[in-house]
């Protein structure tokens, strides 16, 4: 008896056996995807319809010592396997949500069940995070190394860009100042009836900083000279200080602060169960 091959692209809603289209058992009421318990193909997880599950079981019975040739998964196959697993995890999580909505925590039994479920969920999340990190950590390390290679050159050229921009800004500010003075002198000469002086002042108005491919925009910034003079609309509460004041209280309500309402906001801390 020969063992059948698997599809290259394996979806969680289809039997993984090559050329099998029997996916209806996933959709029928009461139907379930069957994960084959024996690694016969050297891949991550295999889900089969009932027919191919029986064929795989028969092959394993006839060849109990059969060991598949292990091979490294391609990037595409590895991502497909992860996609299959995470899709199943997401579906299981949504099923648990339905259980939680109907959970009665007004009894000791209900509380203990909720606590056990919570610890299992915590363990599930820790495993998912660990699995995710096992994939992203090598990529993150490689990305950090590449960025380190480019950082000196990028920093040097960024410094050049910054210094040139500062030169252009200085030129624009000086030009604006000179133009302002020239226009004031032109208006003064006009008021005096000095046509020659008016024309001479206007000739000193320039726009030399209108450059091709570059825009120099004048923006205003600020610095606080006397905070006590600021209008109320420019002030804001010290949220960090209020939060610190509030965090010192647990069982008792915090000492009142005018304009602030305190309310209880519960938090739950739990340890993951040892089952995962």
- pLDDT tens, residue by residue, 172-231: 888 888 989 999 999 999 999 999 989 998 888 888 767 788 888 878 888 999 999 999
Give whole-number Cα distances, 207 to 164, 178, 202, 204, 219, in Å: 19, 11, 12, 10, 17
Q: Structural domain of residue 49, as residue ranges?
A: 1-73
Per-residue pLDDT at 159: 95
Q: CB-based burial of residue 10 (10 Å sphere; 0-12 exposed, 13-18 middle, 19+ buried)?
A: buried
Per the domain annotation, does 218 fall within a domain? no
Residue with tokens 């690694």: 39
Opening angle at CA 235, ends 233 and 240, nearest 5: 140
Per the domain annotation, does 60 fall within a domain? yes
Instruction: Give the Cα separation of 140 and 142 in Å (integer).
Output: 5
With H, G, I as helix, E, B as strand and everything else as coil, classify residue 167.
helix
Instruction: Give the Cα separation of 12 and 15 in Å (integer).
Output: 8
Per the domain annotation, does 209 fall within a domain? no
Give whole-number Cα distances, 212 to 161, 171, 209, 216, 217, in Å: 16, 16, 9, 11, 14
Per-residue pLDDT at 27: 52
> Are the beta carbons of 18 and 6 closer than 8 angstroms?
yes
Strands annotated E in the chain:
34-35, 47-48
Helix axes 75-101, 108-192, angle to 10 degrees: 110
Per the domain annotation, does 63 fall within a domain? yes
Instruction: Give the Cα separation of 175 and 208 in Å (integer).
Output: 8
Neighbour tally for 197: CB within 10 Å: 15
Would you give the DSSP letter of residue 234? G
Per the domain annotation, does 64 fall within a domain? yes
B/e letters for 177-190, b = 16+ CB within 10 Å, e = fewer, are eeeeebeebbeebe
Name the helix (H) or strand (E) containing 165: helix 108-192
* Number of separate domains in the chain: 1
pTM value?
0.50
Per the domain annotation, does 53 fall within a domain? yes
Query: Low-confidence residues of the chain, pLDDT below 50?
Result: 25, 29-30, 276
Per the domain annotation, does 263 fall within a domain? no
Distance from first CA to last CA of the chain, Å, rounded?
37
Per-residue pLDDT at 162: 93
Per the domain annotation, does 140 fall within a domain? no
């Amino acid at each position: 008896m020969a063992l059948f091959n698997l599809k290259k692209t394996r979806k969680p809603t289809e039997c993984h056996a090559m050329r099998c289209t029997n996916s209806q058992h996933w959709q029928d009421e009461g139907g379930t995807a069957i994960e084959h318990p024996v690694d016969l193909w050297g891949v991550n997880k295999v889900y089969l319809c009932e027919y191919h599950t029986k064929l795989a079981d028969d092959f394993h019975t006839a060849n109990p010592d059969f060991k598949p040739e292990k091979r490294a998964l391609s990037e595409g196959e590895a991502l497909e396997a992860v996609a299959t697993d995470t899709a199943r995890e997401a579906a299981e999580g949504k099923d648990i949500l339905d259980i939680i909505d109907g959970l009665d925590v007004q009894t000791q039994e209900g509380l203990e069940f909720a606590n056990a479920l919570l610890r299992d969920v915590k363990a599930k999340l820790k495993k998912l995070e660990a699995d995710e990190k096992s994939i992203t950590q090598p990529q993150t390390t490689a990305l950090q190394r590449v960025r380190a290679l480019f950082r000196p050159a990028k920093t040097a050229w960024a410094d050049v860009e910054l210094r040139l921009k500062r030169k252009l800004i200085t030129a624009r500010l000086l030009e604006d100042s000179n133009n302002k003075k020239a226009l004031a002198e032109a208006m003064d000469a006009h008021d005096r009836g000095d046509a020659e002086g008016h024309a001479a002042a206007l000739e000193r108005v320039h726009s030399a900083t209108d450059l091709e491919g570059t825009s120099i925009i004048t923006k205003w910034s600020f610095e606080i000279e006397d905070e006590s003079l600021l209008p109320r609309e420019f002030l804001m509460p010290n949220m960090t200080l209020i939060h610190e004041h509030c965090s010192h209280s647990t069982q008792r309500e915090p000492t009142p602060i005018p304009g602030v309402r305190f309310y209880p906001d519960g938090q739950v801390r739990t340890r993951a169960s040892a089952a995962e």
